[in-house]
Amino acid sequence: MSRLVEGEWVADADLETDDEGEFQRQEQAFRDRIGPDGDFPVEAGRYHIYISRACPWAHRVAMTRALKGLDDAISLSIVQPERYGEGWEFSDAHPDPLYGADYLRELYVRADPDVTGRPTVPVLWDRETERIVNNESEEIMRMLDVAGHELATRDVDLYPEGYRDEVDRLIDDIYEPINNGVYRAGFAESQGAYDRAVDDLFDALDHYDDLLADQRYLAGDRLTEADLAMFATLVRFDHVYHTHFKCNRRAIHEYDNLWEYTKDLYTTPGIERTVNMDHIVRHYYVSHADLNPKRLVPTGPDIDFTEGHDRDRLPGGPPEALQ
């Protein structure tokens, strides 16, 4: 878990766990906003997003950008899926288009020469001031969805009026046991910490499997930001979290409703192109040498996200602009 400390790169820093072996995710350092209530204006062509196709936090941002049709208004580039001792890096195939940086951490230091923390994705970058606007995925997703709506080419509202309190509640509710829960299990450094994480994770998955028996989406009949946050974990679950993070009590494709829901979201126009399973699998099994010392990459499971689903029987559906 290498990181920047006052702008200097420190390799092999301690894993972020507490005294009981519980994984602790860092607070992000850049929390400015785009929009009328923020410090940055809504302006096409001004902003750039750095992501990894492997990262679930970056994935929710990539899905929001794709669904709303922000490709021309906000540019995007990706880092290599494997992350070694130098952190996220660029390559000849996918270079940094703005500064020719070799590593993402160079952008963090350019934005703040004294920054401390792990350089993470996603990053929302302002070309004009050469600063990081924000590196918190939930906040970037919301900015693209709400503030970015005037730049969007599709009338897709993922935070609709009348649903907002429920969307906020759902995002909060699924974060700790599910989105972060797989990491709490995978990076636990004690049996007790692992057991608590796995119990929380599968209690929550069981709950949402029951909920989705009678409604198409988490908030009811509308696709929302909460579904994107959930999907980013579910689509990775069987290929990496089930085995690599020892979340093997049950696979998502063994759930009656969560599996159909996952396929429904995957086949929603715009989402499939944001999923790169090769990058996902390579990242987890190659990057975490402490969990997988030989860096062997498994070949399964053999599941098909496009095989069809039964969710059309329920009220609601994808936004009309996507149909």
> What does the pLDDT read at residue 23?
66
> What does the pLDDT read at residue 37?
87
Instruction: Point out the annotated binding site for glutathione.
Output: 88, 118-121, 136-137
> What does the pLDDT read at residue 294?
97
The mean per-residue pLDDT over the stretch 194-220 comes to 98
> What does the pLDDT read at residue 13?
61
Q: In this model, does residue 2 exceed pLDDT 90?
A: no
Q: In this model, does residue 230 exceed pLDDT 80?
A: yes
Q: How many residues does the chain have?
A: 323
Question: Three-state SS across the chain?
Answer: CCEEECCEEECCCCCCECCCCCECCCCCCCECCECCCCCECCCCCCEEEEECCCCHHHHHHHHHHHHHCCCCCCEEEECCCCCECCECECCCCCCCCCCCCCECHHHHHHHCCCCCECCCCCEEEECCCCEEEECCHHHHHHHHHCHHHHHCCCCCCCCCCCCHHHHHHHHHHHHHHHHCHHHHHHCCCCHHHHHHHHHHHHHHHHHHHHHCCCCCECCECCCCHHHHHHHHHHHHHHHHHHHHCCCCCCCHHHCHHHHHHHHHHHCCCCCHHHCCHHHHHHHHHHHCCCCCCCCCCCCCCCCCCCCCCCHHHCCCCCCHHHC
> 14: pLDDT confidence band, cut at 50, 70 and 90?
low
Residue 37 CA: distances (Å) to CA of 41, 125, 131, 218, 290: 9, 18, 18, 28, 43
> What does the pLDDT read at residue 29?
79
Task: Please give the CATH topology (third level) of the domain spanning 163-274+302-322.
Answer: Glutathione S-transferase Yfyf (Class Pi); Chain A, domain 2 (1.20.1050)
Domain ranges of the chain: 3-151, 163-274+302-322
> What does the pLDDT read at residue 94?
94
Q: For the domain 3-151, what is the CATH code? A: 3.40.30.10
Please say whether the beta carbons of 186 and 245 come within 8 A: yes
Average pLDDT, the chain: 95
> 225: pLDDT confidence band, cut at 50, 70 and 90?
very high
* Other beta carbons within 10 Å of 129: 12
> What does the pLDDT read at residue 309?
98
> What does the pLDDT read at residue 15?
56
Q: Which range has the worst mean pLDDT, 19-28, 33-42, 186-195, 248-257?
A: 19-28
> What does the pLDDT read at residue 20?
73
- Give me the amino acid identity at 37: D
Residue of 50, 99, 175, 183 marked active site: 183
Residue of 50, 55, 159, 255 marked active site: 55
Instruction: Point out the annotated binding site.
Output: 88, 118-121, 136-137
Which tokens go with 126? 């302002």
The answer to whether 183 is a known catalytic residue is: yes
> 178: pLDDT confidence band, cut at 50, 70 and 90?
very high
Kindly report, residue by residue over 134-173, the tens digit of the pLDDT: 999 999 999 999 999 999 999 999 999 999 999 999 999 9
**Nearest partner of 71 among 80, 81, 61, judged by Cα:** 61
Q: Distance between CA 235 and CA 56 in Å, rounded?
A: 9
The answer to whether 247 is a known catalytic residue is: no
Q: In this model, does residue 125 exceed pLDDT 60?
A: yes
The mean per-residue pLDDT over the stretch 189-212 comes to 98
The mean per-residue pLDDT over the stretch 217-240 comes to 98
Query: Which strand ranges, in their side-by-side order, compose the sheet holding 75-78?
Result: 75-78, 47-51, 123-126, 131-134
Q: Distance between CA 110 and CA 127 in Å, rounded?
A: 12
- What pTM was estimated for this model as a whole? 0.95
